A and B are shown apart, each in its own frame.
Chain A
């Protein structure tokens, strides 16, 4: 262990340390002036972004392989830090008008971001588990932060119980894999498996358990049951952050663990991942049609998108396509982050007290009342569907192409068909906004508008000119240990 090792986790250390300090500082900030806490936490995230940029392109292992720094990790950490900033911007006015302003909100957000950043860098199954807990525990609390609102408490309870159950699956899987290979280090596991010294049955069972546990975190069918209830019950600003950050962190772990540690047993997990992906796309999109509440609809939409991203896992089982698939996932996650934050910002602008203003019918007349906001929402809905001038289309195109490269034609077909189905419920929002008469009560808050503007611009511009971002994603490969 040397000083160089610590430099690899500097942004992570900064966010964690800053969160600890902020927890204390916040105690001395009087109620009603929590804007200071918000500003300070945003400052911490911005500093971490600067630090991360200064060491972009670094590729090495640290702490004897426990921590890995590579393009994959740096790219995802950037996504997480940006999600944190968006999360603060969305929460800032919302928590105030909902009377749930607490300084802990921002501290917990920072802890979650730290957990996600650790997840991107994990080179050991124990670190994966540690990161999973580090990001989950603050999220459980954030879900219930609207206490004493019963729906928020109920959502937190459900999320906690099911999440703890899923964590149990992951750690049991880790234990079984340790039993099979006598190591939890990803680089050592792959060596043991390649030497043919692993105990096959235990290895398969361990992989299955990890897939189940992480499948829960990314909300893949059939482990998605918690998603609509939790997304609906949680304060909307938390839901927005959760739907982007937690999902991306789950996929970070899935890709890292399965592509680095188990490439030699790919046929075994690829089949399972393929079916899980197909069912997730199908069920997420079909169930979303029946929703009348926009939060529940977006929850099912996020399940469906987990299915799309999961397509990359069986595709990546083909070594020739693996790096393309990773690039496609990274680009998709970033595109999804922009689009989703934008859509949730619009939802936040229309939400009233006590969960009113969340029905899709409440969007009637938005096109006439707030043309710019309605236009942005239409753009986000198009991007979520995957229609051309948006970043969602490019992301889907890139992803489907890698799936086709891996000769999984039927899986790509499922993706295309379910995308067509999804157009129905996304376009319904647009139809209601423009073609129904109504007098929606809409907030106009600085940070919310800024988020919508930024997300809208990103969705549109990267839809037209995806090349720079795509190049960045394509170059952000996993550091594999066998070169």
Chain B
């Protein structure tokens, strides 16, 4: 029922107000004494050596995309490992099928030369 969601609505409202409030208070009352060091992009001391938007090899995006694909596989493996004992053989077969499908994609990408970096 809609009334069940009332706490969530209150929480959303509170969170929004609070977020603005904190920034506003800091802006109004916080002391500002900028120094050259403080204005650097990385306060950890790393020196920036060029503009942030540089040209990247297009190939990078392909590798990044493949990485995400196979990375998500791990996300699926974790909950599987948790329930493996309850589902037993079924879960094992399920995962073998899943990995096999991924393997098809992997072999395809490999054979097409998507993993090579010239």
Tell me if chain B binds chain A: yes
User: Which A residues are closer than 8 A to B by beta carbons?
Assistant: 1, 20, 23-24, 27, 199
User: Is the Cβ of B107 less than 8 Å from the Cβ of A20?
Assistant: no
Among B1, B90, B101, B111, contact of A27 (Cβ-Cβ < 8 Å): B111
A-B contact count (CB 8 A): 14
Task: Give 14 CB contacts A-B under 8 Å.
Answer: A1-B90, A20-B101, A20-B104, A23-B104, A23-B108, A24-B104, A24-B107, A24-B108, A27-B107, A27-B108, A27-B111, A27-B112, A199-B1, A199-B2
Would you list the 4 A-B pairs with minimal beta carbon distance, nearest first?
A27-B111, A20-B104, A23-B108, A23-B104
* Residues in B100-118 with C-beta less than 8 Å from chain A: 101, 104, 107-108, 111-112
Distance A23 CA – B106 CA, assembled complex (angstroms): 11
Q: Tell me the interface secondary structure of chain B in the complex.
A: helix
Distance A1 CA – B91 CA, assembled complex (angstroms): 13
User: Which B residues are closer than 8 A to A by beta carbons?
Assistant: 1-2, 90, 101, 104, 107-108, 111-112
Distance A199 CA – B112 CA, assembled complex (angstroms): 51
Distance A430 CA – B101 CA, assembled complex (angstroms): 49
Q: Which residues of the partner chain A approach B2 to less than 8 Å between Cβ atoms?
A: 199
Distance A199 CA – B2 CA, assembled complex (angstroms): 9
Q: Which residues of the partner chain B approach A1 to less than 8 Å between Cβ atoms?
A: 90
Q: Which residues of the partner chain B approach A24 to less than 8 Å between Cβ atoms?
A: 104, 107-108
Q: Which residues of the partner chain B approach A23 to less than 8 Å between Cβ atoms?
A: 104, 108
**Which residue from chain A places its CB closest to the CB of B104 in the assembled complex?**
A20
Q: Which residues of the partner chain A approach B101 to less than 8 Å between Cβ atoms?
A: 20
Distance A24 CA – B102 CA, assembled complex (angstroms): 12
CB distance from B2 to the nearest CB of A (A): 7
Q: Which residues of the partner chain B approach A199 to less than 8 Å between Cβ atoms?
A: 1-2
**Which residue from chain A places its CB closest to the CB of B112 in the assembled complex?**
A27
CB distance from B94 to the nearest CB of A (A): 11
CB distance from A415 to the nearest CB of B (A): 42
**Which residue from chain A places its CB closest to the CB of B2 in the assembled complex?**
A199
Q: Which residues of the partner chain A approach B111 to less than 8 Å between Cβ atoms?
A: 27
**Which residue from chain A places its CB closest to the CB of B110 in the assembled complex?**
A27
**Which residue from chain A places its CB closest to the CB of B105 in the assembled complex?**
A23
**Which residue from chain B places its CB closest to the CB of A199 in the assembled complex?**
B2
**Which residue from chain B places its CB closest to the CB of A179 in the assembled complex?**
B5
CB distance from B99 to the nearest CB of A (A): 13
Distance A20 CA – B104 CA, assembled complex (angstroms): 7
Distance A27 CA – B107 CA, assembled complex (angstroms): 9
CB distance from B117 to the nearest CB of A (A): 20
Distance A20 CA – B106 CA, assembled complex (angstroms): 12
Q: Which residues of the partner chain A approach B108 to less than 8 Å between Cβ atoms?
A: 23-24, 27
Distance A362 CA – B111 CA, assembled complex (angstroms): 43
**Which residue from chain B places its CB closest to the CB of A16 in the assembled complex?**
B101
Distance A1 CA – B2 CA, assembled complex (angstroms): 35
**Which residue from chain B places its CB closest to the CB of A197 in the assembled complex?**
B1
**Which residue from chain B places its CB closest to the CB of A26 in the assembled complex?**
B108
Distance A24 CA – B103 CA, assembled complex (angstroms): 10
Distance A49 CA – B107 CA, assembled complex (angstroms): 29
Distance A142 CA – B108 CA, assembled complex (angstroms): 17
Distance A256 CA – B112 CA, assembled complex (angstroms): 40
Distance A199 CA – B101 CA, assembled complex (angstroms): 40
**Which residue from chain B places its CB closest to the CB of A19 in the assembled complex?**
B104
Among A1, A24, A199, the one with the most B-chain Cβ atoms within 10 Å of its Cβ is A24
CB distance from A248 to the nearest CB of B (A): 26
Distance A9 CA – B2 CA, assembled complex (angstroms): 39
Q: Which residues of the partner chain A approach B104 to less than 8 Å between Cβ atoms?
A: 20, 23-24
CB distance from A307 to the nearest CB of B (A): 37
